[in-house]
A and B are shown apart, each in its own frame.
Chain A
Amino acid sequence: EIVMTQSPATLSVSPGERANISCRASQSVGSNLAWYQQKPGQSPRLLIYATSTRATGVPARFSGSRSGTEFTLTISSLQTEDSAVYYCQQYYDWPPVTFGGGTRADIK
């Protein structure tokens, strides 16, 4: 089973600042990586799939990148509505698809 490790567990960013969330895979997952956003009391929402493709309706300030087995979700200019928990998910080697443990983004 591929283990996905996210860091940091929590980040606190001021509005307008850049936020980077990392996700490391225990082995190669190619580009088969998705990101989800979950706001309090809501279900997860797909943000990005195939490492860097934004889902329909996702603002351009969200972007994804890859370097080997390390993936990064970048929010270029954090907005107050971006306060949420973010999860990565690999779908290269399944079952099972596996999720990272989550990163909470707080707004200062």
Chain B
Amino acid sequence: EVQLVESGGGLVKPGGSLRLSCATSGFTFTSYSISWVRQAPGKGLEWVSSISSSSTYMYYADSVKGRFTVSRDNAENSVYMEMNGLRAEDTAVYYCARALRVGSWLESWGQGTLVTVSS
């Protein structure tokens, strides 16, 4: 069974940092790109970042560029997102999702992890 499990969310003050993790199982991790998509409370979906299967390519939304960094560990079948300089507008549920290639449809999604940025 394909599984993606996010963790690392929580309450953080503005300007603070968090590291999200996406642990995967049930598929050949090295064949898939992984994306992060967020959803602010009561709002729609917003793409945040994507990393290619071999970490060759990383992409970011303008809203997070320079503050967020995506990485992956193919030995651990996991993807990470380092989030620095957090702002109130970063408050959202963060989902990781897999795709056969970067910039494609998102086949399977995790259950999400909530990040709350508030003083």
User: Interface of A with B (CB < 8 Å)?
Assistant: 34, 36, 42-46, 49-50, 55, 87, 89, 91, 94-102
Contacts and interface: CB of A to CB of B under 8 A. Distances in A.
A95 B44 contact: no
A91 B44 contact: no
A98 B110 contact: no
Given A95-B59, A95-B60, A96-B61, A46 B106 contact: yes
Q: Quick one: which of A43, A44, A98 has the most chain B CB within 10 A?
A: A43
B110 A95 contact: no
Contacts of B61: 95-96
Q: Is the interface of A mostly helix, strand, loop or mixed?
A: loop
Nearest to A47: B105
Contact of B47 (A34, A36, A99): A99
B44 A46 contact: no
Contact of B106 (A34, A50, A95, A96): A34
A56 B59 CA distance: 28
A48 to B, nearest CB: 9
Contacts of A96: 47, 59, 61-62
Interface in B63-119: 95, 97, 102-112
Interface of B: 35, 37, 44-47, 50, 59-62, 95, 97, 102-112
7 contacts: A36-B106, A46-B105, A89-B45, A91-B103, A95-B47, A98-B47, A100-B44
A98 B107 CA distance: 16
B103 A94 contact: yes
A43 B105 contact: no
A91 B104 contact: yes
Contact of A45 (B46, B47, B50, B109): B109
B97 to A, nearest CB: 8
Given A55-B107, A89-B106, 5 more contacts: A43-B112, A44-B37, A95-B59, A95-B60, A96-B62
Contacts of B104: 91
Contacts of A100: 44
B105 A44 contact: no
